[in-house]
Structure 1
Amino acid sequence: MERRASIEGMIFGTTQNHIVWAALESIPYQIKEVIEAMCQDIDADLKGISVNGGLTKNGFVIRFLVDLLGLTLKKLENPDISALGAAYLSGLESGVLRSIDQIKQLNAQKTSVIVPDMANDVVAKRYAGWLERICWFTKISLK
């Protein structure tokens, strides 16, 4: 499969920051696409979402994602979740940790909750524009 990319709407005043912004903005759009496909496959709606990992340090991406999805988001404050998971498994196996419930209690103390700003209609408008461009670009790519 041939991969393609496109950056549209650039002018002489476009800076590296604009390109980085566009790249970061595309992440929540793609996450929304995956979530919608999953919900359609299982015929259910999400009530909320939990996130972790290095990208959760980026407040712009997280806020944009929350407002785009319109869902409450729980964010584990430790971005090194893979190492933490390995430590938890080791703790369970060695007996230092007694149960999954104990791990849940440990994580609850390190979790922040982010609520969507339902008045933010800019996110939905930008997403609609992104979808239009994806549809247009896909038609060209398929030829």
Structure 2
Amino acid sequence: KGGKLLTGGERKGSVVAPAVLTDVERTMRIVCFEAFAPVISVIPYNTIEEAIDIVNDSEYGLQAGLFTKDINIAFKAIKGIKVGGIMINDTSLYRADMMPYGGVKNSGIGREGPRYAIEEMTDLKTVVINL
């Protein structure tokens, strides 16, 4: 509510075209909650520190994507953004099965991926036998 659909959002069968929203406020539901949909909210900022504050002003933290040509900005974002994974020059949807995947804050606990899945499905038991 309140944002402007710049492009996308059309539905054809079970496929929804990626949507770009502008004129959104950081308190709007589309910005504050995890949208498991192909949507991006464009929020202007003046400094990378301000952008990091905007991202971190959420109770969620699954993944983030950042596009930049400046490696120093990339490392500031990596250090400052509180998410489970950050993709530099790619979208937050990037995932490879062999890499750990998961969030922080209210975006879940633990990680997915082969090693992490095995750990989640394993109960360790310590046994000591004195003979």
State the TM-score, normalized to the length of structure 2.
0.29
Q: Which has the higher helix share?
A: 1
State the TM-score, normalized to the length of structure 1.
0.27
Q: Which has the higher strand share?
A: 2
